[in-house]
């Protein structure tokens, strides 16, 4: 047991809880022989006070919609989160702490999204967590405005975050924090673990600006708590002030010491990313009067005290349930909307309101997307849109949309500014709210700037919708800096990301239908700047076949060659098929808007679309060939890009780079000859 109470503001029991958190975290890392023990040891007092005295949560029902959110943005300190979850009564057993970082455990090396176990978002890539939290705060503000009525604050929670020096160094956090200040998100409280240490050593090596003044400039309420991280009276006072703030998010800059209490490793980089060692842990235990022979030890009084969270959470949930029952009587329609949203149900059949486009007309798929949003969004009040300062180009703003701002919490359109990476991470935070979803747009070439957020969304199965326009060399005069050639292939390489590249306006509308109905992960929509001919669905089949990922547009009883294409190149394939038919060569044209969905279809269906007995195939796409080996054989030909683009009108670019009807015809003939 602790020899004495050393921490101001803590009782002897509080002190015992703090030490339990410290040792559970350090021992989990030690047993795994891998991890980051220093951060949990330094932040244990602050985390304890937050979780035991302020956080509104319900371990027996972790998904309760009115819970406070806790985000450990400093995900390398995951042992801290798991120790807290175990002690508070979540589905993290002591055996799971002992199984830290092992195959199949519930305690992976960095937190992975699992709200039923109390993990609100996937963190680890630094800066993502705090940026997700900004999205959570936006969602809370919007949802509270939408659902709450006088006497019924059914959406009333805060978002708490622990960040590290590393988080604040990452650009994505700066982008998101700047927007949070502009939007006045006073429901967001960030605790900065200011321990002065990163992997390379002291932060003075590369990080010397005044972080407090930086956040003040962003428009945040900033408080600094000095000392060694153990003055919990001062920390709690700062926390109370942050909670009472209006119109400003809060940052508490808390001076801590990494591996606090370690005789040889405190304040060293060695405590950041490596186990302390059995001998060092023994020394720390002796220093704090803890029995060195006991490991993963939780005193009964600590367990009893921390598990009060279960009872308190159940009481809070019971009171909320009663309020919601009364709310449902007073506002039945809103209550039903709440229930439907919580169950993932859309409020209507999207087929009834999808726009239809006239065959033969020319419509850029970005414009078709805008028309689809005009039709859909007024009926979907819990979907929030936005763009990274490219609204007129992305066509992401729907008719009569109102901006979400500090003085307009009912707005559904978010101006993210020129902050692609933050936009992606913030949309992820909105989409894990449990009730709201987000979409946002930028140019496809700038998906590179937000790839970290896209990857985490796919890994975590966040239902975020990423809209990317200007999807090829068809961008034209802006040149190679703005013409994506490798981005389509790179997005397809991300597991669990559905990438749609629709061939015309009607496929685009169907892509939106699929994206909004899909709840099993993120979707990326890739759309053209240039106009595309709207296909005749009576002649070529229904665009609703997009839901299968690929389908036959122009069939043949006994095809000599298959022309496989996506997006704007489908039209080229159809024209090439007509030319080939005039020469008595039967070509089957396949639109392939989403490879990932096509892969999920039955083998029978896939063989009907791409018959295995037809050996001659041509792939056509205004991007690099990477990935096409799945559909093409060694002797087949790919018509596409093998270099960056060029500055010229879009039609000229297609001609100069050989993505033309004549070249497809030549490629088809040559492929047939090879077979």
pLDDT tens digits, one per residue of 433-463: 999 999 999 999 999 999 999 999 999 999 9
- Write the pLDDT tens digit of every residue in 283-315: 999 999 999 999 999 999 999 999 999 999 999
| pLDDT higher than threshold 60 for residue 34 | yes
Q: Is the pLDDT of residue 4 over 70?
A: no
State how far the alpha carbon of 434 is from the alpha carbons of 130, 133, 341, 396, 476, in Å.
18, 14, 8, 23, 41
Give the pLDDT score at 421: 98
Work out the pLDDT band at 507, boundaries 50, 70, 90: very high
Q: What average pLDDT does range 656-672 have in this prediction?
A: 98
Q: Is the dihedral of CA 141, 142, 148, 150 positive or negative?
A: positive
C-alpha span between 382 and 363 (Å, rounded)? 28
Name the phi and psi angles at 400, rounded to 5: 65, 20
Superfamily grouping for domain 12-313: Thiamin diphosphate (ThDP)-binding fold, Pyr/PP domains (3.40.50.970)
CA 107 to mean position of chain CA atoms: 20
CA atoms within 13 A on the CB side of 562: 24
pLDDT band at residue 8 under the 50/70/90 scheme: low
What pairs with residue 408 in β-bridges? 405
Question: How long a stretch of residues is the chain?
Answer: 675
* Three-state secondary structure call for residue 607: helix
Look-up of token digits 């709450």: 148
Least confident of 2-6, 171-175, 638-642, 649-653: 2-6
Q: pLDDT-derived band of residue 10, with 50, 70 and 90 as boundaries?
A: confident
Q: In terms of Cα–Cα distance, which of 132, 167, 142, 145 is closest to 43?
A: 167
Domain 356-533 maps to which CATH number in 3.40.1160.10, 3.40.50.970, 3.40.50.2300, 3.90.1170.50? 3.40.50.970
Q: Could you tell me the pLDDT band of residue 425, with boundaries at 50, 70 and 90?
A: very high
pLDDT of residue 9: 61
From the list 453, 378, 389, the residue with the least C-alpha distance to 415 is 389
325: tokens are 């029952």
Distance CA 215, CA 163 (A): 13
**Rounded-to-integer distance, Cα 404 and Cα 449, Å:** 23
Report yes or no: 554 and 602 within 8 Å, Cβ to Cβ.
no
Q: What pLDDT is stored for residue 6 in this prediction?
A: 56
Domain 548-674 CATH (choose: 3.40.50.920, 3.50.50.60, 1.10.3720.10, 3.40.50.2300): 3.40.50.920
pLDDT tens readout for residues 544-601: 999 999 999 999 899 999 999 999 999 999 999 999 999 999 999 999 999 999 999 9
DSSP 22-82: HHHHHHHHHHHT-S--HHHHHHHHHHHHHHHHT----TTSTT-TTSPEEEESSGGGHHHHH
Q: Is 420 among the residues known to form the active site?
A: yes
When pLDDT is averaged across residues 123-128 and rounded to a whole number, the result is 98
Calpha distance 633→618 (Å, rounded) = 9
Put simply, whether the predicted model's pTM sits higher than 0.75 gets the answer yes
Does the pLDDT of residue 1 top 60, yes or no? Answer: no
pLDDT at 3: 45
Question: What is the residue whose two structure tokens read 């195959």?
Answer: 103
Residues of the chain with CATH 3.40.50.920: 548-674
Q: Which pair of structure tokens corresponds to residue 561?
A: 């060659």
Radius of gyration of the chain (CA): 28
CATH 3.40.50.970 segments of the chain: 12-313, 356-533
Query: Residue with structure tokens 């005009």?
Result: 374
Comparing CA positions, the residue from 12, 20, 3 lying closest to residue 295 is: 20
CB-CB neighbours of 333 under 10 Å: 8
> Residue 360 burial (CB < 10 Å; 0-12/13-18/19+)?
exposed
Rounded Cα distance, 336 and 318, in Å: 19
* Catalytically annotated residue among 420, 507, 569, 621: 420
pLDDT of residue 675: 75
- Please give the Cα distance from 178 to 80 (Å, whole number): 28
Is the pLDDT assigned to residue 5 strictly greater than 80? no
Contact 659, 572 (CB under 8 A): yes
First-to-last C-alpha distance (Å) of the chain: 80
Q: How many CB atoms lie within 10 A of CB 392?
A: 10
Residues 6 or more apart whose Cβ sits within 8 Å of residue 158: 56, 68, 69, 140, 187, 188, 189, 243
The rounded percent of the chain whose pLDDT value lies above 90 is 98
Task: For residue 641, list its beta bridge partners.
Answer: 624
Average pLDDT, the chain: 97
Rounded distance between C-alpha atoms, residue 135 and residue 104, angstroms: 30
């Amino acid at each position: 047991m602790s020899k004495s109470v050393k921490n101001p503001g803590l009782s002897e029991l509080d002190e015992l809880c703090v030490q339990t958190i410290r040792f559970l975290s350090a021992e989990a890392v030690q047993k795994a022989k891998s991890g980051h023990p220093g951060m949990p040891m330094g932040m244990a007092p602050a985390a304890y006070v937050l979780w035991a005295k302020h956080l509104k949560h319900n371990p027996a029902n972790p998904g309760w919609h009115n819970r406070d959110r806790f985000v450990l943005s400093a995900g390398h300190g995951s042992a801290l989160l798991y120790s807290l979850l175990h002690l508070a009564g979540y589905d993290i057993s002591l055996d799971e702490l002992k199984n830290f970082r092992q195959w199949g455990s519930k305690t992976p090396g960095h937190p992975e999204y699992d709200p039923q176990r109390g993990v609100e978002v996937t963190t680890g890539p630094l800066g993502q967590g705090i940026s997700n939290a900004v999205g959570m705060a936006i969602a809370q503000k919007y949802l509270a405005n939408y659902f709450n009525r006088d006497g019924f604050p059914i959406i009333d929670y805060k978002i708490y975050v622990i960040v590290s020096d590393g988080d604040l160094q990452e650009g994505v956090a700066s982008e998101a924090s700047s927007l949070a200040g502009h939007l006045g998100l006073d429901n967001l409280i960030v605790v900065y673990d200011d321990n002065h240490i990163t992997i390379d050593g002291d932060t003075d090596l590369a990080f010397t600006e005044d972080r407090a003044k930086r956040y003040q400039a962003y428009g945040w309420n900033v408080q600094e708590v000095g000392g060694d991280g153990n003055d919990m009276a001062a920390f709690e006072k700062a926390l109370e002030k942050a909670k009472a703030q209006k119109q400003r998010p809060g940052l508490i800059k808390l001076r801590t010491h990494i591996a606090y209490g370690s005789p040889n490793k405190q304040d060293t980089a060695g405590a950041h990313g490596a186990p302390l060692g059995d001998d060092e842990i023994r020394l720390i235990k002796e220093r704090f009067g803890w029995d060195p022979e006991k490991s993963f030890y939780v005193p009964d009084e600590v367990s009893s005290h921390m598990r009060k969270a279960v009872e308190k959470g159940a009481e809070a949930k019971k009171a909320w349930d009663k309020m919601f029952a009364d709310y449902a009587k007073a506002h039945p329609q809103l209550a039903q909307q709440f229930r439907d949203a919580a169950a993932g149900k859309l409020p209507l059949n999207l087929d009834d309101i999808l726009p239809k486009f006239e065959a033969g007309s020319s419509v850029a798929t970005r414009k078709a997307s805008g028309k689809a949003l005009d039709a859909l969004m007024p009926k979907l009040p819990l979907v929030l849109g936005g763009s990274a300062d490219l609204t007129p180009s992305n066509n992401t703003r729907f008719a009569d949309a109102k901006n979400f701002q500090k003085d307009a919490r009912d707005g559904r359109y978010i101006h993210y500014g020129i902050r692609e990476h933050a936009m992606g991470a913030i949309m992820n935070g909105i989409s894990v709210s449990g009730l709201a979803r987000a979409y946002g747009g930028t140019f496809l070439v700038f998906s590179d700037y937000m790839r970290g957020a896209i990857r985490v969304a796919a890994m975590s199965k966040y239902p975020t919708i990423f809209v990317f326009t200007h999807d090829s060399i068809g961008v034209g005069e802006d040149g190679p800096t703005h013409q994506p050639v490798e981005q389509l292939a790179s997005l397809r390489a991300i597991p669990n990301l559905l990438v749609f590249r629709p061939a015309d306006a009607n496929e685009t509308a169907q892509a939106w239908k699929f994206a909004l109905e899909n709840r099993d992960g993120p979707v990326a929509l890739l759309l053209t700047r240039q106009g595309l001919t709207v296909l005749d669905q009576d002649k070529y089949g229904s665009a609703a076949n997009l839901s299968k990922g690929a389908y036959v547009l122009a069939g043949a009883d006994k095809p000599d060659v298959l022309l496989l294409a996506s997006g704007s190149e489908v039209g080229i394939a159809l024209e090439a098929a007509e030319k080939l038919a005039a020469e008595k060569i039967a070509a089957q044209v396949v639109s392939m808007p989403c490879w990932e969905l096509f892969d999920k279809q039955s083998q029978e269906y896939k063989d009907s679309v791409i018959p295995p007995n037809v050996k001659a195939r041509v792939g056509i796409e205004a991007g690099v060939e990477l990935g096409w080996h799945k559909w093409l054989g060694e002797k087949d030909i790919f018509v596409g890009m093998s270099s960056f683009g060029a500055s010229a009108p879009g039609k000229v670019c297609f001609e100069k780079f050989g993505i033309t009807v004549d070249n497809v015809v030549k490629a088809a003939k040559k492929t047939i000859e090879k077979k």
